[in-house]
Amino acid sequence: MGDSTQYISVNKHAWNHKTSIHTNSDFYDLPSFKNGKNSLNEIELELLGDIEGKSILHLQCHFGQDTMSLSRLGAKVTGVDFSEDAISYAERLANELGLDTRFVLSDVYDLKNQLAGQFDIVFTSYGVIGWLPDLDKWAEIIQHFLKPGGSFILVEFHPVIWVFDNDFEKVEYSYFKDDPIVETEQGSYADRDNASEFTTITWNHALSEVFTSLTQQGLSIQQFREYDYSPYNCLNNMFESTPGKFIINTFGNKIPMVYALKVGKPK
C-alpha cells in the first residue's frame, strides 16, 4: 500500500456499496426490525446487562440496527461509522421509527475531532477490528470516550477463523498481524449471490494484540469469553448446529468462532 490512508477510501467504497445490498437482504431482515425485533444477540446482551438510562457510544455501527436496538432497550445511544451511505440510511430509519438514536459520520481514528463527551459504555461488534490497522490508536480512542468507571464491550469473530482460506480448506493467513490483506470479493456475507465485486483491505489481529492495546491504556479485563459458534450464517461452509448457532462444517465445535470481552476504566 503506497499511501497509508489508501485503505480508507478503498474500504469506504466497499462499505458504501454494501449498505444498499445489506438493507435489502434477508440477512438483515429489515421488515422484522421495523416491526420491533431486537437485532442484538444473547452474547452481547448478556455482557451489556441492564442498559436503561445509560449512555452508549457504538463504534462501526453500519446502518444502525444494533444501535437502534440499544435505544429500544432504553439507552441513550450514539452510533459512528465512516460510510456516508450507512449513516444517512441509519438517520432516515431512526427518524421513520421515531427513535432518538444519534449518528455521527466519522472514521474511528478521527472521532475526537467529530464528537465531544464521555459515555458509560463503548460498544462494538462482529466484523469491526479487521478494518483497523492500528489497535493501539483504537484503544486510546476507546479510553478517551469512556467515563471513569465505564465499560468497553467488544464482541468479535475469533482470530482463529481468519487464518483459513474462504472455504476453510487450508491455513492461508498468519494468525498474527502481518501485511494488510488485500482481497477482491464478490457479493457480501449478507448476500453471497450478489454480482457486485469489492476490493477490501484488512488486518488480522491476534488476541494478544487486542488485550495488550486495551490494558496499556489502563483498562482492566473484567470478562473474556470464547464461543464455539457464530450467531450469524456469514461465512462459507457453515451449518446451523442448533437454532441460531452456526459452525464450520468440517470443524464442528473444535474451534472458537467468536469472543466477547468486557474491560473497565478505573473510577
Nearer of residues 33 and 168 to ligand SAM, judged by Cβ: 33
Residue 69 interacts with ligand SAM (CB under 6 A): yes or no: no
* Distance of alpha carbon 41 from alpha carbon 230, whole angstroms: 10
Position among 11, 41, 78, 217 found at the interface with ligand SAM (CB under 6 A)? 11
Per DSSP (E only), the strands in the chain are 55-59, 76-81, 102-105, 119-125, 146-157, 181-186, 197-202, 220-227, 238-242, 245-248, 258-264
Residue from the set 81, 159, 168, 235 that interacts with ligand SAM by CB under 6 A: 81
Per CB under 6 A, the list member of 29, 91, 107, 228 interacting with ligand SAM is 107
In 3-state terms, what secondary structure has residue 54?
coil
For residues 129 and 12, give the distance between their C-alpha atoms in angstroms, rounded to a whole number: 15
Stretch that binds ligand SAM, among 119-127, 164-172, 174-182, 251-259 (CB under 6 A): 119-127
Residue 190: phi and psi, rounded to 5, are -90, -10
Q: Should residue 86 be labelled a site residue for ligand SAM when binding is judged by CB under 6 A?
A: yes
Is residue 33 a contact residue for ligand SAM (CB under 6 A)?
no
Using alpha carbons, select from 170, 176, 112 the residue that is nearest to residue 144.
Answer: 112
Among the residue ranges 80-88, 145-153, 201-209, 255-263, the one whose residues contact ligand SAM (CB under 6 A): 80-88
Q: How far is the CB of 99 from ligand SAM (least distance, A)?
A: 16
205 binds ligand SAM (CB under 6 A): no
Name the segment binding ligand SAM (CB under 6 A); options: 60-68, 197-205, 211-219, 259-267: 60-68
The Cα 41–Cα 238 span in angstroms is: 18
- Residue 136: phi and psi, rounded to 5, are -65, -45
Residues 125-154 contacting ligand SAM, CB under 6 A = 125-128, 131-132
Contacts with ligand SAM: how many residues (CB under 6 A)? 18
Contacting residues for 98 by C-beta, under 8 A, at least 6 apart: none
Neighbours of 237 (CB within 10 A): 14
In terms of CB distance, is 107 or 228 closer to ligand SAM?
107
Closest contact distance (angstroms) between CB of 60 and ligand SAM is 3
Find all residues with CB under 8 Å of 222, minimum gap 6, and list them.
151, 262, 263, 264
Q: How far is the CB of 42 from ligand SAM (least distance, A)?
A: 15
Query: Which residues form the interface with ligand SAM (CB under 6 A)?
Result: 11, 15, 60, 62, 65-66, 81-83, 86, 107-108, 125-128, 131-132
